[in-house]
Amino acid sequence: MKIVILDGAGANPGDISWAPFESIGEVAAYDYTSKDQVVERAKGAEVCITNKTVFDAAMLKELPDLKYIGVLATGFNVVDLEECRRLGITVTNVPEYATYATAQMTIALLLELACLPGRHSSDVMDGGWCRSPQFSYFLAPLTELNGKNMLVFGFGKIGRRVAAIASSLGMNVSAVPHHPDGTEGTVDGYKIPYTTLDEGIKTADVVSVHCPLTPDTKHLINKERLASMKKGALLINCARGPVVDEKAVREALDSGILGGYGADVVSVEPMLPDNPLLGAPNCVITPHIAWAPKETRIRLIDAAADNLKAFLSGNPVNVVN
């Protein structure tokens, strides 16, 4: 069996192994594949593995041997699912592999905005502490999170893990679940009351979004909702870039309505030079790396290989079409 991995460098830049796939068939792994290389490289393959390489209808029609596309990610919008259904191509994804790592990044961004360790370290390394007339100094106000209100929008596995960590920091956490099953949830013994976004956002000191990108969640955090937040509140986005209106966020940061924005995602990735968040005050952005710890990527590859094994055994799992 021929297995083609089209854009492996994201998940495996060379520090881990493709052995889980190599145990199944003959593997051709490419670091990157441009749009005009997809058909050429995938020709004759029964299995293709993609992370962000697009499979559109025109490409799929030129790959008659293709039976299976494994998406090396949770999101699968890069594949034309309707055309795959028509052609009998099974498509799978890997859900929930980065729960702990994404929650960890969420809290890291929150702590950076609250405590400013990166900003202060840079100043110290530039000689700022050496020039200080006293033993301690701070460049901007710092925030103690104990007792602050956090609103978690999206109470799936990542949102629940964030709620548990924030609760352990002494924060008062409330949540907006996709499908409420009562008036509150419980995570690691912490009771998390449920609310609505428009109610919870008014009293939140921190808002953290953890929802998929859908037509309903695009620009969920917009100019109107930002205006309803407490002045100086913090916003964290480890979901998807377009969940927030970046232009409105920039305006809220410039005006001081928003005290800080931390994100691991932007509306177009890689980031465009005209993104309004570039150079914004009190803004911390990382290049979509919440999923990137080595342990997390090993889990991803193992799970993707298990998906393929299940498909070959006639019992496919994590099918998205």
In DSSP terms, 55 is beta-bridged to 79
Give, as one character, the DSSP assignment of residue 318. Answer: S
Q: Residues near 210 by Cβ (< 8 Å), separated by ≥ 6?
A: 102, 106, 152, 153, 154, 155, 156, 158, 159, 162, 238, 239
> Given the structure tokens 């998929």, which residue do they identify?
212
Residues of 100-109 as b/e, b for ≥16 C-beta within 10 angstroms? Answer: bbbbbbbbbb
Question: Helices 157-168 and 99-115, interaxial angle, to 10°?
Answer: 40
In DSSP terms, 5 is beta-bridged to 29, 49
Mind telling me the catalytic residues? 240, 269, 288
